[in-house]
Amino acid sequence: MYYPEPISKLIDSFTKLPGIGPKTAVRLAFFVLNMKDDDVMDFAKSLVNAKRELTHCSNCGHITDQDPCAICQDTSRDSSVICVVQDPKDVIAMEKMKEFNGKYHVLHGAISPMDGIGPEDINVPDLINRLKDEAVEELILATNPNIEGEATAMYISRLVKPSGIKTSRIAHGLPVGGDLEYADEVTLSKALEGRRDL
Ligand SMILES: [Zn+2]
């Protein structure tokens, strides 16, 4: 079907989003055309600003608009416990639960030899540096409950063990193969509570 170029470009952009098929992309593009000018401008600005103003915290790797991030800067939090997660969205899921008062470390991925992703390709070296500089007593390994997440937790646990820092793995109230970010708050809270030593 023929669309004027600005519309086909907009449709293409929507198609790049996860879960948006060609039909939905067309529907969204035409929806945007019918939106008020101001709303479209706000929408466009939010997209650009989110990308431009957000960076990764140089300490923990979480997304932030200030470096170090607000969590790293918060002195009321317990810096002796670090919860290690795969994705910034996992930090947000944990924070919603409001039960964890330690710090975080975001790996931005998991070890996956099949895909050629090793420890150096994710945020592991920075974690090891933090353990040298900060008085950390426990690492809670909250990587996803799938093969890659388990492998990553085991790797970090073995790496850290000689230093005497305790490592624990969140319990499996979480669905195996699922992502941490999709767990509801009660499940996540139980998983954290029932963590076991590695
Ligand atoms: Zn941070």
pLDDT value of position 173: 60
Q: What is the pLDDT of residue 192?
A: 77
What pLDDT, on the 0 to 100 scale, is given for residue 174? 59
64 occurs within a structural domain = no
Rounded average pLDDT over 128-155: 92
Same domain, 160 and 120: yes
5-15 vs 22-34: helix axis angle to the nearest 10?
Answer: 130
Do 156 and 111 fall within a single domain? yes
Q: State in Å: Cα 68 to ligand 1 middle.
A: 5
* 112 contacts 148 by C-beta, under 8 angstroms: yes
Q: Please write the tens of the pLDDT for every residue from 20-41.
A: 999 999 999 999 999 999 999 9
Residues, beta carbon < 5 Å, ion ligand 1: 57, 59-60, 62, 68-69, 72
pLDDT digits (tens, 9 = 90+) for 105-116: 999 999 998 899
Say if residue 109 is in the same domain as residue 151. Answer: yes
Structure-block tokens of residue 12: 């293409």
The answer as to whether 96 is a domain residue is yes
Based on the domain organization, do 44 and 82 belong to the same domain? no
Mean of pLDDT over the chain? 90
Give me ligand 1 centre to Cα 103, in Å.
8
Q: Is there a domain that residue 9 lies in?
A: yes
> Which CATH number goes with the domain that contains 130?
3.40.1360.10
| Residues 22 and 81 grouped into a single domain | no
Q: How far is the CA of 37 from the centre of ligand 1 (A)?
A: 37
Ligand 1 centroid – CA 80 distance (Å): 14
Q: What CATH number should be reported for the domain holding residue 18?
A: 1.10.8.420
Q: Is 176's pLDDT higher than 60?
A: no
Distance separating alpha carbons of residues 44 and 39, to the nearest angstrom: 9
For the question of whether the overall pTM of this predicted structure is more than 0.75, the answer is yes
Give me ligand 1 centre to Cα 192, in Å.
20
Full residue range of the structural domain in which residue 44 is found: 5-53
Same domain, 97 and 152: yes
31 with 127, same domain: the answer is: no
User: Which whole number is the average pLDDT over 133-152?
Assistant: 92
> Is residue 165 a part of any domain in this protein?
yes
Mean per-residue pLDDT for 53-62? Answer: 95
How does DSSP assign 135-182, residue by residue?
Answer: ---EEEE---SSHHHHHHHHHHHHHHGGGT-EEEE--TTSPTT--GGG
Indicate if 91 and 158 belong to the same structural domain: yes
Residue 64: pLDDT over 80: yes
Residue 171's pLDDT is 75
CA 164 to centroid of ligand 1, rounded, Å: 24
CA of 59 from ligand 1 middle (Å) equals: 5
What's the number of domains the chain is made of? Answer: 2
